[in-house]
Structure 1
Amino acid sequence: MADTSAASGSAPKDGDHAPTSRQCSADDVQDVEGSGEEQQSVQNKAVSDLGARPRCFKNTFQEVAFVFMATIAMATNTFLTGSTVIVTAAIGRDLGMTQSQISWISAAATLTAGAFQLALGQLADLLGRKAVFLFGMGCFSAGCLIVAFARNPFWMDILCGVLGLASAMVVPPAIGILGAAYDVPSQRKNWAFASFSAGNPLGFALGSIVCGIAARIFDWRAGFILLAIIWAILGVASVWIVPSVEAFEPAPFKTRLKRALRHFDSVGTVLTITGIGMLTAALTLGPDDGWKSAHIISMLIIGAFLLVGFVYWESRWEYPLMPLHVWKNRNFSLLVLTAILGMMSFASSNFWLALFMQEISSYDALTVAVHLLPQVIAGIIWNIVAASILHSVNNTLIMAVGAFSYVGANLLLTFQKANTIYWGFIFPSLVINVIGADFQFNVTNMYVMQSLPIEQQSLAGGIFNMLIRLGSTIAIGVSTAVYSSVEAAQAEGADTVVPPDGILRVCRSCKSELLLPAFPSHRYARQLAQ
């Protein structure tokens, strides 16, 4: 298989004219004081190695600050998941919740985050990426504050769903601005996207740590109040940090609103929200209510029917939420499917590991958070590695390393027992598991963003993140069903040596690997470099 440079393409050389766009073009190299030719040559080489700073950023500080803000946006949903999972037991006791109601604390946020991603991506491109981003940050902060004062199970679950919607609101505009700003392949672009991609796997562990500390010192409500304060500060800072990189020509808001209403795919939005909502609800309720229950079967059938109808509608509508032509690209389809299978493994691993620590090891929230900390540190390191090698290492190799990392990490967890030391299996699993998340997400995210034009960058981010969220929900739902069935078998006297969720994770990770031989990296690299 031919070796390639891949995600970033070749660095610009002296004399080349860098591509430009209306949204964001590369800055000209600034003059350097002094007698010039030698100093100018050094400066040109430095810019050539890294890539020029996009013009939409006034200085390097704003650029770095925005990339950090985009990373926070990407981490918002998983941050929320980690924050809630770590205190679900405490919330359940305080509000007198049933097991089914407790499961909806996390499921409601995941459901709304996945269902609204596509619609919010298109709205960000049509109405304004910065405006949608700021509104989402404000809604998330306000939602966290309101959740902290929930007094009954019903409002707790409803408000968590609202938080999921707010978390979904910030991702498409953030990735849309990134994609439009860094429209020229370069090492600079690799670093920006690697940092952004780190938010997804690191959010869970960071959320667990932050809320674990707050819950240990005060109670679970303090964790949500702390989140409200953090996101309020970040939202205010975003007013100055986030650049205005839009997909439309400057025009009065009324004119843009009319255009948005004319182009917005309202039918597709209804179909995808209701379809994904019913499918997610069925997968969440199935393990508790029984898969043979009439309402579970009906929700699965209706949800699948609505999603089929969504695909048909997208093939007819002029401005679709999900352009179907991208799926005709075999590289796109295989990459996205591989990444989804891997993230399904990652999500279920974190979910069951946190539950294992709480229920089997009897750790409190802060202790669980501390035990998950190695994943945060390792995730940062592996993202630095990913940013350094994306432009020079065969992308099939990167995807393969990610897939085998998932398998290795989950194999280690299958041998974890109640009396096994943390350093034996859990610690190495945390360090290895995040390799798969970082490597595969970086490669796939870069390709997805370059599969759609600049004016649809937010929509591209919405497509990928919607599929990731839906896959994570399916993983937890199916693994819970497998666990429940084997637990019932154990109650009847059967013996299961390997935990059922471990079997599922290994099988899912192996599926990821089976797709790798069909992925032609040389074609992928050539397309990315264009």
Structure 2
Amino acid sequence: MTGRQRLTLIVLLTASFTLAVDFSILNVALPTVGADIGFSLENLQWIATSFALCAAGLTLLFGRVADLVGRRRMFIIGMALLGAGSLLGGIASGPILLIIARVAQGIATAIVVPAALSLLLSSFPEGKLREKALGLNGALMAAGFTTGAILGGLLTDLLSWRWAFLINVPVAAAVLVLAPMVLAESRPTDKTRLDVPGAITVTLGLLALVFGLTRAAESSWTDPTTLGAFAAAVILLAAFVAVEHRTATPLVPLAILKRPTVAWGNISGILAFVTETSLVFLLTLYLQQVLDYTPLGAGLAFAVLGLGTVLGGVLGPKAISRVGNKRAIVYGFTVQAIATASLVLLSYDPASIILLLIATFVGGAANLVVIVGFMVTATTGLSDKESGLATGLATMSQQIGITMGIPVMSAIVTARLVALGSTDAPAVLSGVTLAIWVNAALCLATAMFVACFLRAPVTEEASAS
């Protein structure tokens, strides 16, 4: 890498890692936050839900806006919003201000993440350097989710939950100072108009989908509000498809979704984030409800998983160079499935922590190989005009996967607890074990489907021949 490329990578990865940390940093502190500023217990989940709704629902829209007005410009706007929202959260005196702060952080995530990924792609040409950069980006994004849980526990116990917000302010300020100096503006050469009807329908559809998933975990899959949200999501997303077929400047040219690399790359990305982030949730339940770990102790136990994800980010580009994108995804999911399945052997014995640490380290490394493979697969072989769209899709897949995993696995655990008629430690262990089986099965099934259906695009095949 050149010196400028290194600086570019540092700025972009710092921003992406910070936003990944924000997704989970308040999870272990929610009871403390609620008691401190007067949040009722039943409304605590909105501290996390308001962030997730905006981060997942608005990503595709802002990815496209960045294509039109400039990716560096949107990156800087997003980081400024992150700093302002974080400052507001750190000084919030009531629930309304705190929710506004989390909404601002979620919108900042939807702006910055696709813009940062597009800037990364434009700064590194296709090949080993780009794969290495994507590997580091994927490692830090995944490690950020785990780091958030650890950092949230540390800050809450040692200082105050407010530092979970305030810690972002100097980071955002530093990025805002460096970004104009080291990042080159990037936008397609062709001027196009924003597809407003498409943007409205897909954004509302994604918001309804994420809300439905979150509501399902809080109540049930048959709750009228849950079903209504899913019905609205289906109607809105169907309307979006209809709009895209008819408009001259579609937000998502549907032809790009017919490319196996884009379609199956994003499917594998969604499942990679669904399985790993939800596994962290399941093991948090196990550590706290079965082994009686404190929130801080449970968070620290995931430090080994964080090390595994960093290793996977390093191994990912090497695996792709050796066996190709497709096999890297298939092999990564297969190893992840085996590591996850081994966790069904967890018991009440405190020594089970050894199995947990080994399995999460191996599974975390394998998961990052998959994530690097997904990023490379979903963004390779596209024109500059399409790269912003492809990164928007990839980022949306990432956010949807992070948001979807916990509600799905939580619903499985809840259903098992209801069937057993108990919420004691044996019932929790039974529910967690069932969800772990489902998690491992999803990994294995995705590996099989990718092996069968992911094909290289015609251009790559032709060049290879």
Unmatched runs of 5 consecutive residues or more in structure 2:
none
Q: 1:492 to 1:122 in 2, by over 3 A?
A: closer
Q: Aligned-pair distance for 1:346?
A: 0.9
Q: 1:525 to 1:363 in 2, by over 3 A?
A: farther
* Structure 2: distance between partners of 1:78 and 1:527: 36
* Structure 1: distance between partners of 2:354 and 2:15: 34
Q: Aligned-pair distance for 1:324?
A: 1.0
Q: Tell whether the 8 Å contact from 2:18 to 2:144 is kept in structure 1 after alignment.
A: yes
Q: Aligned-pair distance for 1:349?
A: 0.8
Q: Aligned-pair distance for 1:96?
A: 4.2
* Structure 1: distance between partners of 2:16 and 2:91: 26
- The one of 148, 152, 174 aligned to 1:207: 148
- The one of 119, 126, 135 aligned to 1:177: 119
Q: Aligned-pair distance for 1:453?
A: 1.6
Which residue is 2:374 aligned to? 444
Which residue identity is paired with 2:369?
A: F
Which residue is 1:304 aligned to? 234
SS of corresponding position for 1:425: helix
SS of corresponding position for 2:188: coil
Q: 1:191 to 1:517 in 2, by over 3 A?
A: closer
* Deviations 1:7-29, CA, capped at 9 Å, x for gaps: xxxxxxxxxxxxxxxxxxxxxxx
Q: 1:69 to 1:415 in 2, by over 3 A?
A: farther
* Residue 393, structure 1, aligned to residue 327, structure 2: no
Which residue is 1:232 aligned to? 173
Q: Tell whether the 8 Å contact from 1:136 to 1:170 is kept in structure 2 after alignment.
A: yes
* Structure 2: distance between partners of 1:97 and 1:403: 40
* Structure 2: distance between partners of 1:517 and 1:181: 31
* Structure 2: distance between partners of 1:118 and 1:61: 31
* Residue 429, structure 1, aligned to residue 359, structure 2: yes
* Deviations 1:467-504, CA, capped at 9 Å, x for gaps: 22223322222222221111112226997846232233
* Deviations 1:100-130, CA, capped at 9 Å, x for gaps: 4222222221111111111111111110111
Larger Rg: 1
- The more displaced of 496-505 and 309-318 is 496-505
TM-score, with structure 2 as normaliser: 0.90
Q: CA RMSD in A?
A: 2.6
* Structure 2: distance between partners of 1:269 and 1:167: 17
Q: Tell whether the 8 Å contact from 2:16 to 2:113 is kept in structure 1 after alignment.
A: yes
Which residue is 1:509 aligned to? 443
- The one of 271, 281, 287 aligned to 1:341: 271
* Deviations 1:56-96, CA, capped at 9 Å, x for gaps: xxxx2321121122223333442112212232232233234
* Structure 2: distance between partners of 1:528 and 1:433: 35
Q: How many residues align?
A: 460
- The one of 457, 473, 488 aligned to 2:387: 457
Unmatched runs of 5 consecutive residues or more in structure 1:
1-52, 54-59, 250-258
Q: Aligned-pair distance for 1:360?
A: 4.4
* Structure 2: distance between partners of 1:468 and 1:403: 16
Which residue identity is paired with 2:99?
A: D
* Structure 1: distance between partners of 2:177 and 2:194: 29
Q: Tell whether the 8 Å contact from 1:286 to 1:296 is kept in structure 2 after alignment.
A: yes
Q: 1:421 to 1:388 in 2, by over 3 A?
A: same
Q: 1:246 to 1:334 in 2, by over 3 A?
A: closer
Higher helix share: 2
* Residue 68, structure 1, aligned to residue 26, structure 2: no
SS of corresponding position for 1:403: helix
Which residue is 2:303 aligned to? 373
SS of corresponding position for 2:252: coil
Which residue identity is paired with 1:221?
A: R
Which residue identity is paired with 1:510?
A: L
Which residue is 2:108 aligned to? 166
* Structure 2: distance between partners of 1:123 and 1:330: 25
* Structure 1: distance between partners of 2:169 and 2:463: 41
* Structure 2: distance between partners of 1:526 and 1:438: 24
* Structure 1: distance between partners of 2:247 and 2:301: 49
Which residue is 1:243 aligned to? 184
SS of corresponding position for 1:160: helix
* Structure 1: distance between partners of 2:349 and 2:168: 35
* Deviations 1:261-285, CA, capped at 9 Å, x for gaps: xx01111111111111112112212
Which residue identity is paired with 1:316?
A: R
Q: 1:214 to 1:168 in 2, by over 3 A?
A: same
Q: 1:393 to 1:314 in 2, by over 3 A?
A: same
Which residue identity is paired with 1:186?
A: G
Which residue identity is paired with 2:185?
A: S
Q: 1:335 to 1:201 in 2, by over 3 A?
A: same
Q: Aligned-pair distance for 1:247?
A: 2.3
Which residue is 1:281 aligned to? 211
Q: Aligned-pair distance for 1:520?
A: 5.2
* Deviations 1:422-466, CA, capped at 9 Å, x for gaps: 542221122122223311121221122225321332221111111
Which residue is 1:15 aligned to? none
SS of corresponding position for 2:354: coil
Which residue identity is paired with 1:294?
A: P
- The one of 19, 22, 39 aligned to 1:97: 39
- The more displaced of 515-524 and 291-300 is 515-524
Q: 1:240 to 1:356 in 2, by over 3 A?
A: farther
User: Relative contact order: is structure 1 or structure 2 higher (C-alpha 8 Å, sep ≥ 6)?
Assistant: 1
Identity percentage of aligned residues: 20
Which residue is 2:130 aligned to? 189
